[in-house]
Structure 1
Amino acid sequence: MKHSIPTVCILALSVVAVLFASPVVAQAEVTTTPNATKNVLVFFVDDLRPELGCYGVEAMHSPSIDALASEGLLFEHAYCQQALCAPSRISMMTGQYPDRTGICDLFTPLRKVNKTAMTLPLYFQQRGYVTASFGKVYHHRRDDQTSWSEIPTPPSAKYADPVTLAAIDERVKDAKAQKLDVDQTRLAAKGPPTECFEIDDEGYRDGVVARQAIESLRRNQDKPFFMCVGFAKPHLPFAAPKRYWDLYERDQFQIPSRQRPDGSPDLAFTVWGELRAYHGIPQDGELSDEMTRELMHGYAASVSFADAQVGKVMAELDRLHLRDDTLVVLWGDHGFKLGEYGLWCKHTNFELDAHVPLIISAPGNMSGKRTDALVEIVDLFPTLASMTGGEVPESCDGKSLRPLLRNPDQNFKPYALTQYPRGSTMGYSLRNDRYRYTEWIQAGTKRVVARELYDHRDTKTPESNLASSPEHKDRISRLSQQLDAARRIENTNVNRKK
């Protein structure tokens, strides 16, 4: 499947290259105040839906993450800035919206566009911390390399079953013998979307990543550290040791409704090419109920596998008596669709893609609590800066979540923003306490070519787009003005950096 950088991103990239011509690194050269949290440990979990035991889904086996939630604050309404790995993670690491970073595609590393942007590892490096990256943190492992004290090479194996590996090798040989083009050869190199194999955790990448993080904790227990641990699961392929599959029964998974919301524009949807690239998945049409249940089962097994790796690292933190000196964050880079609306994976502005799990456990703050406040992943950078006694860089778009960690019942933000491009059109989505409102705006004309309005009071998957409903005319007008004002504030922030 061929990819290209959307026109809206290309325009943003050219702007950002100019905006950050002068370094901003001096902003992070600050001192640490007394009694501030000493260490920071951040778990990145790829494609993780906010469907865990601690989020009220009792069927999901997630004891380690549930335990972390019992020691911290769980955010019921946290939202990523774009439902795609690279831009979401770059937004988190810079504390900036995609329109600020200029990156809204999968193929552009931050440092290719912006050599001097302030990032979390650079910020903590300048404050004298050991900065360590394990597993999938940035989408591009080579990104920000000079800002890390430790960044070991992770294992690359996605499969462990020799039968699976042999079949992949045979398909690649056949593709080369037939002199197929690059895309067809790449498709042949893909394995199946699921794998259930008897093997130890370290037979897969995330098990090794957990071990690498544990070894670093032992090495650096007497130093302040900023550590990021990125687990690839539950990203495709859903490959996990058999014992995690055995936690679930196949028939416990219910097929979701494949009905798309009435009146929704074509721009809102994808053809979920990410899943179709895997061997055995049809290139068009819907999946069978049997395949749907297999994938749902594999996703749940992968979540439990990732959860176990979180538990191993947390157990070592406790064993080393570092827990009382360490601020721990767990977040998902975006959501994931499991057949809802007949769709899979991410790549949209729907609630299922934008809504993410977020847990923060900070010594001396609320524990075992949850908050309904609307928050965004760009809020993590200022949170980590302020909670460790540092100054928040002016480059950050977000705001510190520290007040919520002391009083989770207060209002925090009136809305959260998410965006996703379709070629030369960008979809901007505003989520308030009840509605998700989206405008699709052409890059050149700035014309709104489509609108969406969904009522999320009672469901994550509304059945209708209410944007054309006369009874919502005034609401749409207000939300449109609010969305436009939010985008203007972002542009003002950009211009201020010139």
Structure 2
Amino acid sequence: MRYHILTHVALAALFCVSATGAVEQKRPNVLFIAIDDLNDWISVFGGHPKAITPHMDRLAQSGAMVFQNAHCAGPVCCPSRSAMLSGFMPSRSGIYSNSQNMLDAPLVQAHATLPEYFSKHGYVSLSMGKIFHKHAAKNGLDAGQWAYDIYEPARGGGGVNQGRLTSRNKNLINGKPGPPSQHNKGGGTEFAWAPTAKGKEATKDYQTAVWAGAQLQKSYDKPFFMAIGLSKPHLPFFVPQEFFDLYDPKEDYLPPIREDDLEDILTPRGKQKFQASGDYLWLKQNHLLNEAARAYLAATSYADACLGVIFDALKTSPHYNNTIVFVWGDHGWHLGEKLRYRKGTGWSESTRIPFVVRMPGMTQRQDCTGLVNMIDFYPTLIDLCRLPAKSTLDGRSFARLLKTPNLKWDYPTVTINGEGNASVRDERWRFMRYNDGTEELYDLQSDPQEWHNLITNPPVPGRKAMVHLADLLPKTFAKAIPRSKGKYKKVRNLDTTIKATRDLDKLK
């Protein structure tokens, strides 16, 4: 069931009285801020007691809804973002990995993405930074530039202090070769951290935040949809020294970790399904588990500082009282839990996201524990902005929660982790099923860390919950669309030919 109801706090701000006394509707602006690989290690989410994130705190206290139980549709960047931006779950679109371009999915080819839908209905859309996942395209780079009226590539870097570099892939520890290891090989983004060679003003995310601030000071003849993407704390953790200095290296930053955590997750043939990851084993071998957590916290504090630049600009802009703000991470991130790092699992560390919404008229922080999913962003935003409803979307509007955060909201949330793999949870239970038949069941009430897999001997309430939750999993999974060709990191120029293929009048 989908709802199309404006919150009472928004209504007051979205109506104005003309000189003739007639009431006119004024659609709100949208400021849509993504923070890449950000988990719940933020003070307002309680994920880490030593996290220093004053600007996220300030945003929340200024009058915002803090969603304590928000989850992603897919636990890696491309499936998560593609699902949210298209409105279609990975199991429906066939987008399961970072190697697939959403534009190759027939569903996306026929439907407007979120920013396109706003442009189609009278908004000006603009963006800088990572919102869409990047891919090599036929005539250059596809960074999602085709989805906006105005797009500016993110710039900046800041360099790396090579003398302080720690890198699993290069087997370096503080700039020097580490002991021989069989655990320093592997694909994916380099697992590394170091201070940047230059200050924050030279870095990409800070310059993106400054650009966003400049756009917020401008006047527009239409309401705007502004999407800003911050790239940290995504690997590698290269951020200015001032953010490492926030965290005393002598302090303990590790989350609770159990070495036997994976032993009760067995395949139908009785074999242990998962092993400790190479990241975990290399860090453990070199006694760097705590330092890796410190580096992630430093990168999180850097991203928070960039968020503060944007929020300060919004507060002094002419748009402050008529702008909806969404701040979100695209999925969670493991830091040793389940003996692994990064993302890409169906456990809470990967599925839970930080999510804050500020509505015009809100004056104090409110917390909502109702389950929401990133797949719900699209229908919620078009609901709040009074755009035509789309019955084809997979999500549902949670606009009612913005009015009544303690509203009974009995909608379990599903995360798709590759073709045939799914994780579903309600307020108490999490059930997971893999394409090889492996299953997991956790009682989140008594076991929030998901340490005890109950699947072989579930209690009666768990057995009933499992039947209900299993019924919510996809009955079929769309065939994975082909992998995109080429390496986007080797492509510099934007493909300017894509936009011509996206006729807004024809897109649904």
CA 1:240/1:431 → structure 2, altered by over 3 Å: closer, same or farther? Answer: same
Q: 1:148 to 1:440 in 2, by over 3 A?
A: same
Change (3 A) 1:221 1:464: same
Q: What is the TM-score of this pair, normalised by structure 1? A: 0.78
Percent identity for Structure 1 against Structure 2: 27
Distance of aligned partners of 1:35 and 1:483 in 2 relative to their CA distance in 1, 3 Å threshold: farther
Contact kept? 1:160, 1:204, Cα under 8 Å: no
Post-superposition Cα deviations, 1:208-246, rounded to whole Å, max 9, x if no partner, equal 211222232234555411011111111111111111111
- CA contact under 8 A between 1:251 and 1:293: conserved in structure 2? no
1:66 to 1:301, Cα distance in 2 relative to 1, 3 A:
same
**1:22 maps to what in 2?**
none
Find the counterpart in structure 1 of residue 38 from structure 2: 48
Match of 1:98 among 90, 96, 114: 90
Task: Name the CA shift for 1:103/1:60 in 2 (closer, same or farther; >3 Å).
Answer: same
Aligned twin of 1:150: 150
Q: In the alignment, which residue of structure 2 is the partner of 1:136?
A: 130
User: Which residue of structure 2 lines up, in the alignment, with residue 303 of structure 1?
Assistant: 300
TM-score (norm 2): 0.77
Which amino acid in the other structure matches residue 482 of structure 1?
L
Tell me by how many angstroms 1:47 deviates. Answer: 1.2
1:329-357 deviations in whole A, cap 9, x for unaligned? 01110000111122111111011110111
Give me the whole-angstrom Cα distance separating, in 2, the residues matched to 1:200 and 1:254: 25
Measured after TM superposition, the shift of residue 201 of structure 1 is 1.4
Taking the aligned partners of 1:470 and 1:304, their CA distance within structure 2 comes to: 41
2:401 aligns with one of 392, 400, 404: 404
How do 1:209-358 residues align onto structure 2 when only pairs under 5 Å count? Answer: 209-221=208-220, 223-255=222-254, 256-259=256-259, 260-265=261-266, 269=274, 272=277, 276=279, 287-288=284-285, 290-358=287-355
- Against the structure 1 CA distance between its residues 331 and 190, is the aligned structure 2 distance closer, same or farther, given a 3 Å change threshold? closer
Query: How far has the Cα of 1:435 moved from its partner?
Result: 1.3
SS in 1 for 2:459: helix
Return 206-215 or 371-380, whichever deviates more.
Answer: 206-215
Equivalent position of 1:446 in the other structure: none
Which SS does the other structure have where 2:134 is aligned?
coil
> 2:367 maps to what in 1?
370
| 8 Å CA contact 1:418, 1:428 repeated in 2 | yes
Cα distance change, pair 158–401 in 1 and its aligned pair in 2 (3 A): farther
Closer, same or farther in 2 for the Cα pair 1:190/1:488, shift >3 Å? closer
Encode CA deviations 1:107-160: one digit per residue, 9 max, x unaligned. Answer: 111112232222111101112222112111111261543321122122374843
| 1:468 partnered with 2:456 | yes
Gaps of 5+ in 2: 1-13, 16-23, 136-141, 172-183, 479-507
CA distance in 1, matches of 2:79, 2:359: 27
Pair 1:396–1:487, CA change in 2 (3 A): same
- Distance of 1:303 and 1:254 partners within structure 2: 13
Deviations 1:359-418 (A, max 9, x none): 111113574100111111111111110111112212211111110010000122331101
Change (3 A) 1:428 1:158: farther
Secondary structure in 1 matching 2:284: coil
Question: Which stretch shifts more, 455-464 or 94-103?
Answer: 455-464
How far is the alpha carbon of 1:487 from its aligned partner?
2.4
Partner of 1:10: none
**8 Å CA contact retained: 1:416, 1:432:** yes
Amino acid at match of 1:465: N
2: CA distance, partners of 1:327 / 1:416: 24
Identify the match of residue 380 of structure 2 among 380, 383, 404: 383
The CA distance in 2 between the partners of 1:131 and 1:335, in whole Å, is 27
Contact kept, 8 Å, 1:73 with 1:405, in 2: the verdict is yes
Q: Distance in 2 between matches of 1:315 and 1:232?
A: 19
Q: Residues of 2 paired with 1:470 and 1:407: CA distance?
A: 34
**What are the residue-to-residue correspondences of 1:413-424 with 2, within 5 Å?**
413-421=410-418
Q: How far apart are 1:261 and its partner, in Å?
A: 4.3
Deviations 1:280-308 (A, max 9, x none): xx8x5662473111111110011110001
Show the counterpart of 1:67: 58
Secondary structure of the structure 1 residue equivalent to 2:371: strand
Deviation at 1:185, TM superposition (A): 12
Cα 1:486–1:428 change in 2 (3 A) is: closer
Which has more helix, going by share of residues? 1
Separation of aligned partners in 2, 1:350 and 1:269: 13
1:125 aligns with 2:119: yes
1:71-106 deviation line (CA, Å, top 9, x unaligned) = 210111111011100010011112221112210111
Q: Which amino acid aligns with 2:319?
A: L
1:480 equivalent in structure 2: 467
Post-superposition offset of 1:250: 1.7
> Does the 8 A contact of 1:268 with 1:348 survive in 2?
no
Do the aligned partners of 1:52 and 1:62 also contact (CA within 8 Å) in 2?
yes
- Please name the residue that 1:200 is paired with: 199
Q: 2:190 and 2:72 mapped to 1: Cα distance?
A: 29
| Gap change, CA 1:475 and 1:456, over 3 Å in 2 | closer
Task: Give the counterpart letter for 1:81 in structure 2.
Answer: A
Does the 8 Å contact 1:80/1:356 carry over to 2? yes
From 455, 458, 461, give the equivalent of 2:443: 455
Q: Are 2:133 and 2:144, in contact at CA under 8 Å, matched by a contact in 1?
A: no
| Structure 1 range deviating more: 45-54 or 361-370 | 361-370
Distance 1:411 1:158, change over 3 A: farther
Matched, 1:427 2:421: yes
Task: Give secondary structure in 1 for the equivalent of 2:442.
Answer: strand
Task: State how far apart, in whole Å, the 2-side matches of 1:43 and 1:419 are.
Answer: 23
Question: Quick check: 32-41 or 232-241, which moved more?
Answer: 32-41
Equivalent residues, number: 429
